[in-house]
Amino acid sequence: MLECQDAVTEGVGGLQVTDTAQGQQPQKQKVSKAQKRREKKAAKDKERDQRIAESEVDNLSGARHMETQKIKALLRDRQLAVKEISSDGHCLYNAVAEQLKQVGDEKSMLGLRQLTADYMKSHTDDFLPFLSKHDTGDPYTPEEFEDYCNDIANTAAWGGQLELQALSRILKCSIEVIQAEGPAIKIGEEYDAKLPIILTYHRHMYGLGEHYNTVRPLAEELAEEEDS
């Protein structure tokens, strides 16, 4: 009987184990190029997200954060909140267009640009004297003013106080610009009888520089926060 058991043991010992569950190492699979690309992209995305997170931490004590908090506080006292507008060069016109929608006026950003350009061209004496070249300080020539107005209509040229003055006259309404530092700027106060347009002006919101946002009722923002 013992001899039989020894024979069985020797037979089992001589068998090759092919099942990976019994200890054989599985064959290493070759990683495809597509998989490598996915892994590389995932690593880059993770690094980007980390940079964004670090940047946001820095912004908590930075100029942008401080400015935003001041503007929010000023608006909250008036039961208003900031409504974000894209930073694409069209922010002033998009912000005004967004305000007009609240009173049923469907003028588009492009329409407002064209109206502004046409008005300034037809009232040259009201605007040309206030334009000068950034590099030299020399006043604009009539030809340069014409080009300036064409850029308003046909490009993403940034708008400022002159364009706000033109828009106030075109729309026959006052435009109030709330900023973190200094008092609010009010243009077209002679149109006070009509619902004013209220914008916010940010010097530090984006790396590209100055920016305009619009406003909305604070109740809308609070309702969204409750739903989220």
| Helix/strand/coil percent split, the chain, to 5 | 55, 15, 30
Catalytic member of 90, 91, 173, 202: 91
Q: Which long-range contacts (CB under 8 A, 24 or more apart) does 195-198 make?
A: 195/103, 197/96, 197/99, 197/100, 197/171, 197/173, 198/80, 198/99
Catalytic residue flag (residue 211):
yes
Q: Whole-angstrom Cα distance, residue 186 to residue 165? A: 10
CA trace torsion 160, 161, 166, 168 (10° rounding): 110
**What is the chain's alpha carbon radius of gyration, rounded to the nearest angstrom?**
32
Catalytic member of 49, 58, 88, 147: 88
Q: Whole-angstrom Cα distance, residue 125 to residue 142? A: 10
Place of tokens 């995932």: 42
Catalytic residue flag (residue 123):
no
Catalytic residue flag (residue 4):
no
Would you name the residues annotated as active-site residues?
88, 91, 211
